[in-house]
């Protein structure tokens, strides 16, 4: 029932910036954590950044100091501001949301948005 809709991907030159947005709909329940994963060709999907409903954040070492995640609990949206982009940031970026109910984890995913950084 929960749907995650992503926007903001595209093509950018190295050193440029993009802002990804994700909007969750279809639920009245709190999403305990939201975040962004990415997957490049030949690599496993990896966590880029995540934020809890309380505002705690964590980032992959490769993006610390360059990316910033933010969340609006009232709107059920999460954004990822990406600055100083590098070619190695090229990947499909997936919005993710997690919700715990009766000790069971529900994991939701968006369809992904392509980010391409040219050298």
Average pLDDT score, the chain: 94
Question: Residue 115: its pLDDT value, please?
Answer: 98
For residues 54-82, average pLDDT: 94
For residues 19-26, average pLDDT: 93
**Phi and psi for 64 in degrees, rounded to 5?**
-60, 135
Q: What percent of the chain is modeled with pLDDT above 90?
A: 82
pLDDT-derived band at 28 (thresholds 50, 70, 90) equals low
């Amino acid at each position: 029932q929960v749907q995650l809709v992503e926007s903001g991907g595209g093509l950018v030159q190295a050193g440029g910036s993009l802002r990804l947005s994700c909007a969750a709909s279809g639920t009245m329940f709190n999403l305990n954590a939201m975040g962004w994963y990415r997957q490049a060709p030949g690599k496993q999907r990896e966590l880029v950044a995540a934020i809890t409903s309380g505002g705690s954040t964590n980032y992959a070492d490769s993006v610390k100091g360059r990316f910033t995640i933010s969340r609006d609990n009232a709107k059920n949206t999460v954004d990822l501001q990406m600055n100083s982009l590098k070619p190695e940031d090229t990947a499909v970026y997936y919005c993710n949301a997690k919700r715990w109910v009766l000790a069971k984890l529900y994991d939701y995913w968006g369809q992904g948005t392509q980010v391409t950084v040219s050298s």
